[in-house]
Amino acid sequence: MRNTAIDDVDKLDCPVLAIGTDYPPRHLLAEHRHRRAQLLYSATGVMQVATIDGTWTVPTQRAVLIPPDTDHQVLMEDVSTRSLYIEPTVAPWFPTRCQVVEVSPLLRELLLAAVDLPTDYQLRGRDSTLVDLILYEIQSVAPLAFDLPMPRHAALLQRCQAFAMAPSIRETPQQWATELGLSTRTFNRMFRVQTGLSFQQWRQRASTMYAIRLLSTGKNVTQTATALGYSTPAAFSTMFSRHTGTAPNSFLLPHTSR
C-alpha cells in the first residue's frame, strides 16, 4: 500500500500492514498514536520523532520502533517512508519505548517488498513467509543511541528544548544553573535525575543529533562544525565519530562537499 492512512486499513485481519508514504520538506505529523506497534523506516530524508520522554533522530536508511499506544509527533525532512504496523500480539518482544535501529540490507529489501503486498494478502504461502521473515529480522536489529531524553521539570524542559534547536558545545552547566537560580552542584544532580545523563553527556548527544540533521539536509562537515561552536572540523569529527561509531561524512547528502 502507498500513501494510505493507517486508520483506513487498521481493521483488516492482517498481523502486519505495510504502507509507503512520501512527505514534503518540513512536514509535521501532529501528535497521534497507533493501536499497533510501528516500525517507521526512512528510505530517504531524515525524521525527528518526539514523545513526552524525549526525541529520536532517524537518519536515512535507519528506522525507529514506536511501541503501540505511544503518543508521538514526527517532523519529516523531505522523507519517503516505509512503515510496518504490527499487531501487538505477534510482537510481544517489541520495545516499550521508542528506539532508533540499524536496518540491514536484507530488512531494507523486505520493507521495500512489503509495501507491494495486497491488502488481503494470504496468511499462508509466499506473502506470509515474507511477513514472518520481517518479524524475525526486526528482533535482531542493532539499536542506535540516537535519542535525546528530555526532563519533566518545566523550566529545565523549556531550556533543553531551546538548546536542542540550536546547540552549542560552549554552553556550560554553570550558565544553565545561574539561569535557573540553582547552584551548579544542585543543577548537575537535578539534571542527571531528570534525564539519566550528565549535562556534558546530554550536550554532546544533543549536538550529535543536531549534526545528523544538518549533514542529512545538505550542510557539509565544516558548516556543521561551525554551527555547533567547534574551533575546527577535526575536533567536531572526533566527537561525532566517538558517539556514533562512524565519520560525519557518512551522513552527507550525495554531492555535498566536505
The full set of domain ranges for the chain reads 6-144, 150-251
253 band by pLDDT with thresholds 50, 70 and 90:
confident
Helix (H, G, I), strand (E, B) or coil at 129: helix
**Which pLDDT score, from 0 to 100, does residue 87 have?**
97
Q: Which fold has domain 150-251?
A: Arc Repressor Mutant, subunit A (1.10.10)
Residues 252 and 248: their CA atoms lie apart, in Å, by 7
Beta-carbon contacts of 225 under 8 Å, excluding residues fewer than 6 positions away, are: 232, 233, 235, 236, 237
Q: What single-letter DSSP state applies at residue 152?
A: S
3-state helix, strand, coil in the chain (%, to 5): 40, 25, 35
Choose which CATH entry (3.90.1150.10, 3.40.50.1100, 2.60.120.810, 3.90.420.10) describes domain 6-144. Answer: 2.60.120.810
Nine-digit cell string for 68: 503501540
257 band by pLDDT with thresholds 50, 70 and 90:
very low
pLDDT tens digit sequence for 94-146 = 999 999 999 999 999 999 999 999 887 877 889 999 999 999 999 999 999 99
Using alpha carbons, list the distances in angstroms from residue 22 to 27, 64, 200.
10, 17, 37
Ranges assigned E (strand) in the chain: 16-22, 25-32, 37-51, 54-58, 62-66, 72-86, 99-102, 143-144, 147-149
pLDDT tens digit sequence for 136-162 = 999 999 999 999 999 999 999 999 999
